[in-house]
C-alpha cells in the first residue's frame, strides 16, 4: 500500500492541524518508505518494498497509540504536582494564555543535558524538562522554553512531532544492522560465501543521518511558529532569545562542523541531544531570532496568538530538584534509542 494511504490513516489524529502539518506527516512517511525500501530491495528485491510498507504501518500504529505516560516512563521522568510552586504556576499561566483545552502535565527528566520536549496530544499533553535546563537557565528563560513547547501544543504540532520521533527510533537500528552486515561481508573473504551488496550496507548505514536531514527540511516553519507563539505568550522576547542562544551553545547545531558527521561515526548514532525533542533539527538560533524580529515588524496573522503583557516572575528561591534524580548524572545512551 502506498505511503500516502498511511498518511490518510494518520490524518485522523491531525484533526484541526494546519494543512502544512498534514503534508509533513505524509512526507515523513513517504521518506521513511523510501529510506527503508531502497536498501531492502537491494537485499530482497520486491519483498523489500513489502517490508518497508509493513514497517510504515508499524510506525503509524506507534505514533497513534503510544500515550505520553509511556514516553515519560522511558525517560524515567518524575511528574511535578499541580500546585502553587514556580514551575507549576508558570504552566498554569501559559496554558491559560494559550487557551489550551487542558493544562499540560509537567515532568522532570533526571539528566544534566539542556532539553525540553512535549508529547501526547492537544487534548492530553505533557511537557518534560531536564534537570540541566532547570539548573542552568533563569526562570524567565525557562518560561520561554516552556512557552515554546506550549506553542507546539497550541498549534497541534504534537502528532507530526510524535511521528517524526517514531520514525527516528525505527530507523536508528538500521545503522547497527549495517555494521553487522559489513562484518559479515568481511568474513566472506575467509569463508568464501557470497557477500551482501555493499550498496545496501552503505544505504542502511546512512539512513539515520538522511532521516535527520529530512526532518530538518520539514521542521523550520513549525519551529518558527512555536517561537512566535512563545514570544506572544510570555511577552518577553529578550528572555526567549537568551534561552534559544544558550540551548544552541550547549547542544550545538546539526549543520555545524562535526555535528552532521556524528551520525556517521561510531557508535551509531552519536546522539548528544535526547529525543523525542527535535532540537538537533531546529533552525539556527540566529535565524530564529531574525524571524522573531520580522514577525514583530509585520501584521499579526489570522491564527496568531494574542500578544500578552510580560509575565511577572517574582524572585523566589531556585526550584528544588531534590528527589528528582542525581545531580551528577552524565548523559549516556540507553535502550531503545534514548540519550539523556
Is 149 considered catalytic here?
Answer: yes
Helix (H) or strand (E) holding 324: none
pLDDT category, 213, cuts 50, 70, 90?
Answer: confident
The domains of the chain are located at 71-154
Per-residue pLDDT tens for 290-338? 988 887 665 555 556 788 899 888 766 666 666 666 555 666 666 556 6
Answer yes or no: are the C-beta atoms of 312 and 66 closer than 8 Å: no
What is the structure's pLDDT at 274? 42
What secondary structure does DSSP assign to 9-28, as a single string?
A: HHGGGGTT--HHHHHHHHHH
What is the structure's pLDDT at 34? 95
Q: Choosing from 131, 141, 149, 295, which is the catalytic residue?
A: 149
What is the structure's pLDDT at 277? 37
The lowest-confidence range among 27-41, 71-85, 187-201, 283-297 is 283-297
Segment 139-162 mean pLDDT: 94
* Cα 233 to Cα 231: distance, rounded to the nearest angstrom: 6
What is the structure's pLDDT at 76? 87
Of the chain, the percentage scoring pLDDT greater than 70 comes to 75
User: Which three-class secondary structure state does DSSP give residue 84?
Assistant: coil
Answer yes or no: are the C-beta atoms of 167 and 36 closer than 8 Å: no
* Cα 25 to Cα 159: distance, rounded to the nearest angstrom: 8
- Specify the CATH class of 71-154 in words: alpha beta
Amino acid at each position: 500500500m502506498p505511503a500516502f494511504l498511511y498518511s490518510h490513516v494518520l490524518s485522523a489524529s491531525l484533526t484541526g492541524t494546519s494543512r502544512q502539518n498534514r503534508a509533513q506527516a505524509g512526507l515523513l512517511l513517504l521518506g521513511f518508505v523510501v529510506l527503508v525500501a531502497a536498501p531492502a530491495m537491494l537485499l530482497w528485491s520486491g519483498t523489500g518494498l513489502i517490508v518497508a510498507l509493513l514497517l510504515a504501518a508499524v510506525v503509524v500504529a506507534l505514533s497513534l497509540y503510544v500515550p505520553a505516560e509511556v514516553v515519560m516512563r522511558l525517560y524515567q521522568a518524575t511528574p511535578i504536582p499541580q500546585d502553587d510552586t514556580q514551575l507549576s504556576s508558570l504552566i498554569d499561566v501559559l496554558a491559560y494564555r494559550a487557551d489550551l483545552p487542558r493544562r499540560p502535565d509537567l515532568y522532570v527528566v533526571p539528566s544534566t543535558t539542556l532539553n525540553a520536549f512535549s508529547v501526547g496530544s492537544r487534548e492530553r499533553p505533557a511537557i518534560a524538562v531536564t534537570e540541566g535546563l532547570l539548573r542552568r537557565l533563569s526562570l524567565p528563560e525557562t518560561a520561554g522554553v516552556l512557552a515554546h513547547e506550549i506553542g507546539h501544543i497550541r498549534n497541534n504540532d504534537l502528532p507530526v512531532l510524535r511521528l517524526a520521533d517514531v520514525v527516528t527510533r525505527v530507523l536508528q537500528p538500521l545503522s547497527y544492522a549495517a555494521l553487522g552486515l559489513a562484518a559479515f561481508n568481511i568474513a566472506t573473504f575467509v569463508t568464501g560465501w557470497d557477500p551482501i551488496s555493499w550498496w545496501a550496507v552503505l544505504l542502511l548505514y546512512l539512513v539515520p543521518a538522511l532521516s535527520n536531514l529530512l526532518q530538518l527540511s520539514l521542521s523550520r516553519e513549525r519551529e518558527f511558529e512555536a517561537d512566535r507563539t512563545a514570544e506572544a505568550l510570555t511577552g518577553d522576547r529578550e528572555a526567549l532569545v537568551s534561552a534559544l542562544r544558550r540551548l544552541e551553545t550547549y547542544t550545538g547545531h546539526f549543520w555545524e562542523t562535526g555535528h552532521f558527521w556524528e551520525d556517521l561515526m561510531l557508535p551509531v548514532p552519536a546522539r548528544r541531544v535526547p529525543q523525542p525533542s527535535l532540537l538537533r533539527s531546529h533552525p539556527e538560533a540566529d535565524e530564529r531570532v531574525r524571524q522573531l524580529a520580522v514577525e514583530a515588524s509585520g501584521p499579526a496573522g489570522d491564527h496568531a496568538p494574542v500578544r500578552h503583557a510580560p509575565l511577572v516572575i517574582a524572585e523566589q528561591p531556585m526550584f528544588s530538584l531534590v528527589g528528582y534524580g542525581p545531580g551528577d548524572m552524565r548523559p549516556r545512551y540507553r535502550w531503545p534509542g534514548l540519550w539523556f
